[in-house]
Amino acid sequence: MKTFADKVAVVTGAGSGIGRALAQRFAAEGMRLVLADIDGEALIETSETLSAEWGYVRLVVADVSTAEGAQRIADEAWDRFGGVHILCNNAGVACAGAPVWEQTPETWSRVLGVNLWGLIHGVRAFVPRMLADGDEGHIVNTASAAGLRTGPFVSPYYASKHAAVAFTEALHFDLLLAESKLKVSALCPAFVKTRIADHSPGFPDAMRARVESGMEPADIAQRVFEAVRDEKFWILTHSEFDSLIRARCEGMLAGENPVPHVFRRPE
């Protein structure tokens, strides 16, 4: 996609962090925006940071872990603007640090509900209508560097993000075989200054510190914008994790047993 002005972008998880930064970056291009989040007050805060013209922004309070929530966002987009050109399935949550056997069914349901089912519901609600419209477009699914490597203590998060990467790659292949004008990107950041810890009960303090000192969301948004413009699938934003990803893949091919990158439970 080379032109952005007056086109329509949808961003979920737009109340803070990467979602808010994406909204700001697209607004700077003169796009019309549909911004969704489960937190209505946070959405209003995001809207107040935008340079978009009055009438160019629609706010939708919705839970993307439900099909109804995703459908409501899509309906608002088509009712208000008549179509969608960029869909950012960005909403995400993390979890407390604990071994696999201590992670509760409620935690698994919540993390998979947002991080994986949020993508599934988003694609099902938007992509058929985007295909029917026949315009060029782009879907950006927020996964994580945790979707390209693994480790101990946050198994629901790792599992959800690995599934998100696989789902996004499969979507890419399906759209290629359909000879569609729609392109796809998998966003795989590591630590970013977001409020994910605030929305994740029991989030480990050690990881919270790394989030608070992480990359600025605006830098992630710029990488996303460039990937959409240049039709790039992979958006890997933290080069310091390349060696971990490479070691995992090489160890797999060599038949080596996985080795954890941390050796004690986070406090």
CATH of the domain at 220: 3.40.50.720
**Other Cβ atoms closer than 10 A to 255:** 6
Q: Please report whether residue 248 resides in a domain.
A: yes
Segments in 155-257 forming alpha helices (H): 155-177, 205-212, 217-230, 242-253
Catalytic residues: 157
Q: Please report whether residue 99 resides in a domain.
A: yes
Q: Please report whether residue 264 resides in a domain.
A: no
Predicted TM-score of the model (pTM):
0.93
What's residue 128's pLDDT?
A: 98
What's residue 199's pLDDT?
A: 66
By 3-state DSSP, what share of the chain in percent is helix, strand and coil, each rounded to 5?
50, 15, 35
What's residue 50's pLDDT?
A: 95
Domain hosting residue 74, numbered range: 8-253
Q: Please report whether residue 113 resides in a domain.
A: yes
Q: Please report whether residue 259 resides in a domain.
A: no
CA separation for the pair 231, 226 (Å, rounded): 8
List pLDDT tens digits, range 207-244: 667 677 678 999 999 999 999 999 999 999 999 999 99
Domain count, the chain: 1
